[in-house]
Each structure stands twice: as C-alpha cells, then as structure tokens.
Amino acid sequence: MVTNKTSLLAASAFFALTESILGFLLQTAPGEAVRILSYTSVVIACLFCTLFCERSKSYAFTQLGLICTVCADYFLVLAEKRQQLPAMLLFSVTQLAYFARLYFADGNKKRRTWHLICRGLASAIVILLTLLVLGDGADAVALVSMFYYVNLLTNIVFACLQRERSHVFVIGLLLFVCCDTLIGLSCLDAYLAIPEDSFIWSIIHPGFDLAWAFYVPSQTLLALSLLPERLKKCQ
C-alpha cells in the first residue's frame, strides 16, 4: 500500500497516461496487436489497484471486480475461440462485487434494504422478460448477459443515491454500461435481424472501436475510484 500522497498522485497520473496511450494505440494498431493492447489495458488497471491494498471491504470488492474483469476478458479477447458464457458469468461476479462494495459502504440501513429488494426484483424481471421476448432463442448467454446488465444498471443507480458517493466510481460504471450497451447491440443480430440502414447499425459500426473507447476509461476510473478515499489517509 502506498501511503505517501505525492507518490500516489504521481503513480496515478502515470497510470492514467499509460491507459490513455494504450486506448489510442488499440484504435490504430493492426491485427493481433489490438488484442494484446486491449487486454494489457485491463490487466494494468487490475494491477494498479493493488496500490490501494488494505484490509477493507471497499478495496477487497473493488479488487475482486477488477480480477474477474481480467478473467472475463481473457475469454473474449485472448482466447483462440471467443467464449461468451464463462465471460458473462465472470462479468456478473464483477458487478456483484461492486454491489457488495456499495452495500457495505452505505450507512443508510433503510436504503440498503431497498437496495436488496430492488436488485432482486430487477434481476427476476429481466430474466422473465428475456424468456418472454426471445422464447426458444433464450439461451444461457442471453439470460446471464441480461442478469449482468441489470445488475450493472442497479449499481449505477445506487452509487448515485449514496450521499458519500465516489464520483470517479460512478463515472467508471457509466462508461462501463456505455461499452456493454454497444456490445449488446452488436450481439443482438444473433437473436434479432438489424437492418444495415438503421440507426442501431450505424452506432455499432462507427468506423472505429467505440466500445473500447468507453471501456478503457471505465476500467481506468474504476481502478482509480479508491484514490480520493486513500488521499485522505495519506501523509
């Protein structure tokens, strides 16, 4: 754990610069290099968070979320054959880890109770709707993906409701959902036909990797989300 304020700020600035460079390079690099640069950006975010290592729930659940993200992206980015189901299961654990961070950081007992109720209802409703809309086409990937997505949205809502909220954490989650919305739309044609002249088609085919343009900053900010709290404890 880094306890010197100057060192922590310098390390954070270097980390943010490194991620910015990787984010730019992965948009312009050829072929295989894109996969390596993309995955490297996620791994670096996970490793950077270890600078905040301490015996606290906020750190433990944030680090768990980043570790699960690294593992999930292996199946989507590095694996020879893209494996969506294990990836989405791991991403679901990521969002549950961020839920745990929010839940234990919330000092309002009534809001914590409502948090559990709303999350449970939202998860059940979205799974039911997925089954109703897709019918026989509702496979495990679709169900887990929708469970993951609604938990990400719920995290954003309750992260915003907390009085002592981390704005960095909130923005990181918002960028996360922007990325996943784009990816979800791009995968939608496996279940529903999307006309090439439609607005949705133009969003998911902008001429560059818009999803990763959101994703790299999201992981950067999630890794940095403990910084404001840690600076208060620094010498």
What local confidence, expressed as pLDDT, does residue 191 receive?
A: 58
CB of 97 within 8 A of CB of 64? yes
Is the per-residue pLDDT at 39 higher than 90? yes
Q: Which contacts of 164-168 are long-range, i.e. CB under 8 A and separated by 24 or more positions?
A: 164/105, 164/107, 166/225, 166/226, 166/228, 166/229, 168/221, 168/224, 168/225, 168/227, 168/228
Distance CA 82, CA 124 (A): 28
Output the CA–CA distances (angstroms, integers) from residue 150 to 58, 119, 191, in the order listed.
22, 8, 19
Q: Is the pTM value of this prediction over 0.85?
A: yes
What local confidence, expressed as pLDDT, does residue 192 receive?
A: 65
Total residues belonging to the chain: 235
Is the per-residue pLDDT at 194 higher than 80? no
Environment class of 134 (CB within 10 Å of its CB; exposed 0-12, middle 13-18, buried 19+): middle
Q: What angle do CA 50, 53, 55 make, to 5 degrees?
A: 150
Is the per-residue pLDDT at 30 higher than 60? yes
CB proximity list for 55: less than 8 A, separation 6 or greater: none
What local confidence, expressed as pLDDT, does residue 2 receive?
A: 66
Residue at token pair 């990937």: 141
Distance CA 65, CA 154 (A): 16
Q: Write the pLDDT tens digit of every residue in 152-165.
A: 999 999 999 987 77
Q: Write the pLDDT tens digit of every residue in 110-128.
A: 999 999 999 999 999 999 9
Of the candidates 233, 223, 230, the residue with the CA atom closest to the CA atom of residue 14: 223
Distance CA 191, CA 175 (A): 25
